[in-house]
Amino acid sequence: MRDSRGVTRRRALGIGGALGLMAATGLTSAAALARRPSITGARLRSALPLPLPFQVPLPVPAVLKPVGTSGGADRYEITQRETSVEILPGVTTPMWTYDGSFPGPTIESRRGRPVTVSHRNELPVPTVVHLHGGRTPAASDGYPTDLLLPAGRQEHSTHMGHGSGHGMHDPRAVLSELTRDYTFPLDQRPALLWYHDHRMDFTAPAIWRGLAGLHIVRDDAEDALALPAGPRELPLMIADRAFAADGGLAYPALDPTLRVRPGVREPYLAGVLGDVILVNGAPWPVHEVDAARHRLRILNASNARHYELEAVTDDGRRLDLVQIGADQGLLAAPVVHTLLPIAPAERYDVVVDFSGVPIGGLVRVVNRLGSGRTRDVMAFRVARKAADDSRIPRALSADLPAWRRSDAVRVRDFAFRAGQTRAGHGWLIGGLPFDPARTDVTTRLGDVEVWRLVADVHHPVHLHLVGFRVLSRSGRPPLPHDAGLKDTVSLRPGEAVEIITRFDGYRGRYLFHCHNAEHEDMGMMANLEIV
Ligand SMILES: [Cu+2]
């Protein structure tokens, strides 16, 4: 994978290079390619009666207030604690939360204005906070072994039972007890980011139990665009879950204490899918809107579920989803979709115009990849006529990086595929399961690189620290929804995707990994050292 001669040889294959790589590594059989399954993962079934769709109002997570401001920086405090939340009407669900709610409180920031978030861990296990999409110094990036230990848990060592089934020591781990300050310079494009748990081996069940929240970065240039704002700007965190008979969340963890043995039971090794679709923590919610343009900032916070979203009116008309932004902020110009694929951890910023919908009409947000109850996501009820002075400018931003292939100082190939670890079935990058003590990629600050990513099944690949642009998909131009600056790219089964990025910002130890959270816990991460 890091053999430069191998790369050169594969490059010589030209447009067939990606397919050549697949053939050379036996990555994907023709039969698997032909099947192209739309779902990677297995569905867990709830043991409770589920509510009818479009009954529960859409919650909007509260915006957290800083506890203090000094020197142009804001300080926040969040307590991680177990609490009972009403997700299904009349049902009590114990969850692990940031500050008592799911999703956690939203943090709103201005570009270039630093934020410190002091996290206090009152949960029964160590935690790690990662700000997904943040341009963050390594010490605050939430490396999986930089544990925040609960009080009195100093005896937790840096040895952990990893997915490869053997204790693993990370001499570089920085442990904290009870509280830890994470500092985010937020010197980056305005975007919808999200914070979530990233603990070694147990990220998937920790997010599933509730450790996820939103962080929005804004700036004056974006404010001046006159996009829909205030109550007409809605964050939508979509996540699937399943519920046990006692109202608790169901999850097929091998170790329900989430302390020792990572991983999930058969048949969930490819990912855990719930049968309840939550938006901002509510099942199939409904939201009353003015007959006007709305800005929907969509995050797929599901562990493994992919969506292909469409907005359908009562008479079967599909409304335009006008994409204005990607993971890392505004596009150069809007892109119109009627169907929007969204993989785990991706964000899409879209404007939907409800002005043509009759008053009283319902607009359902549907997942074309779902079936039965998981086909519905949420609905908007168009409640009233209203004036609308918002607009969608033809030019949204002019600061997107325009890296060219010729800027790249090297090309790297990475295969994301199933494989064996010492613990049994696992998920590998370049044939290896994650090892915090092994440096997989070393690059120099400021270098531009092209990465070629090849998949067996669906793998949403995420790079920490940097945004990237999609150059190609299986030798063809990127898809319309690949526009803009991204930090997570959805590799579809059998696909080869080329991305280009510049490694700038900070030196230090970062990660890249699959954001199917179950894959991530079962080995599909690698170290990225920026020197
Ligand atoms: Cu994966």
Q: Mind listing the pLDDT tens digit for each residue in 336-380? A: 999 999 999 999 999 999 999 999 999 999 999 999 999 999 999
Region of poorest pLDDT, from 157-171, 212-226, 412-426, 510-524: 157-171
Confidence check: pLDDT of 163 > 50: no
Ligand 1 midpoint to CA 65 (Å): 36
Q: Which two tokens stand for residue 447?
A: 């270098």
- What's the DSSP call for residue 284? S
* Contact status, residue 349 vs residue 325, Cβ threshold 8 Å: yes
Is the pLDDT higher at 1 or at 325?
325
Greatest CA span in the chain, whole angstroms? 64
Nearest to 328 by CA among 97, 198, 206, 502: 502
The predicted structure's pLDDT at residue 10: 33
Ligand 1 centroid from CA 520, angstroms: 7
Please say if the pLDDT value at position 17 is more than 50.
no
Whether 304 shows a pLDDT value over 80: the answer reads yes
Calculate how far, in angstroms, residue 416's C-alpha sits from the geometric centre of ligand 1: 7
CA of 283 to the centre of ligand 1 (A): 26
Q: Tell me how far apart the alpha carbons of residues 529 and 531 are, in angstroms, rounded to a whole number.
A: 6
The arithmetic mean of pLDDT across residues 265-286, rounded, is: 97
Query: How far apart (Å, rounded) are the C-alpha atoms in residues 160 and 170?
Result: 9
Ligand 1 centroid, distance to 458 Cα (angstroms): 6
Strand partners, 23: none
Helix (H, G, I), strand (E, B) or coil at 32: helix
pLDDT, tens digit, for every residue of 344-354? 999 999 999 99
Q: 133 C-alpha vs ligand 1 centroid, how far in Å? A: 18
Ligand 1 centroid distance, CA of 144 (Å): 17
Tokens of residue 115, six digits = 């934020």
CA 456 to ligand 1 centroid distance, Å: 9
Tell which wins on pLDDT, 19 or 267: 267
The two tokens of residue 7 are: 């790369």
For residue 110, give the nearest of 181, 195, 187, 224 by alpha carbon.
187
Tell me how far the alpha carbon of residue 417 lies from the centroid of ligand 1, in angstroms: 8
Quote the pLDDT of residue 168: 62
418 alpha carbon – ligand 1 mean position (Å): 9
* pLDDT category of residue 38 using cuts at 50, 70 and 90: low
Q: How far is the CA of 461 from the centre of ligand 1 (A)?
A: 7
Distance CA 459, CA 471 (A): 17
The separation between CA 400 and the C-alpha centre of its own chain, rounded to angstroms, equals 21
Residue 327 has pLDDT above 70, yes or no: yes
In three-state secondary structure terms, 19 is helix
166-170: long-range contacts at Cβ-Cβ below 8 A with a sequence spacing of 24 or more?
166/422, 168/435, 168/436, 168/437, 169/437, 170/145, 170/436, 170/437
What is the structure's pLDDT at 154? 55
pLDDT of residue 15: 26
Q: Where are the alpha helices (DSSP H) in 126-267?
A: 203-208, 220-223
Please list the residues that pair with 514 across neighbouring strands: 461
pLDDT of 8 > 70? The answer is no
Q: Taking the CA of residue 420 as centre, how many other CA atoms within 13 Å lie in the half-sphere pointing to its CB?
A: 2
- Give 524 Cα–ligand 1 centroid separation in angstroms: 7
Q: What is the spatial distance between Cα 372 and Cα 395, in angstroms, rounded to a whole number?
A: 40
Predicted confidence (pLDDT) at residue 470 exceeds the cutoff of 50? yes
Quote the pLDDT of residue 422.
Answer: 81
Contact predicate 330/295, CB 8 Å: no
**Predicted confidence band of residue 258 (pLDDT cuts 50, 70, 90):** very high
Q: Where are the beta strands (DSSP E) in 301-409?
A: 307-312, 318-319, 321-326, 329-337, 340-342, 347-353, 362-367, 376-385
Lookup: tokens for 397: 């931003």
Cis peptide before 285 (omega within 30 of 0): no
**Do residues 277 and 54 touch, judged by C-beta distance below 8 A?**
no
> How would you write 444-458 as a 3-class SS string?
CCCCEEEEEEEECCC
* Residue 106 alpha carbon to ligand 1 centre in Å: 27
The pLDDT score that the predictor gives to residue 153 is 61
Q: What is the distance in A from the centroid of ligand 1 to the CA of 25?
A: 18
Which pTM does this prediction carry?
0.92
Ligand 1 midpoint to CA 375 (Å): 23
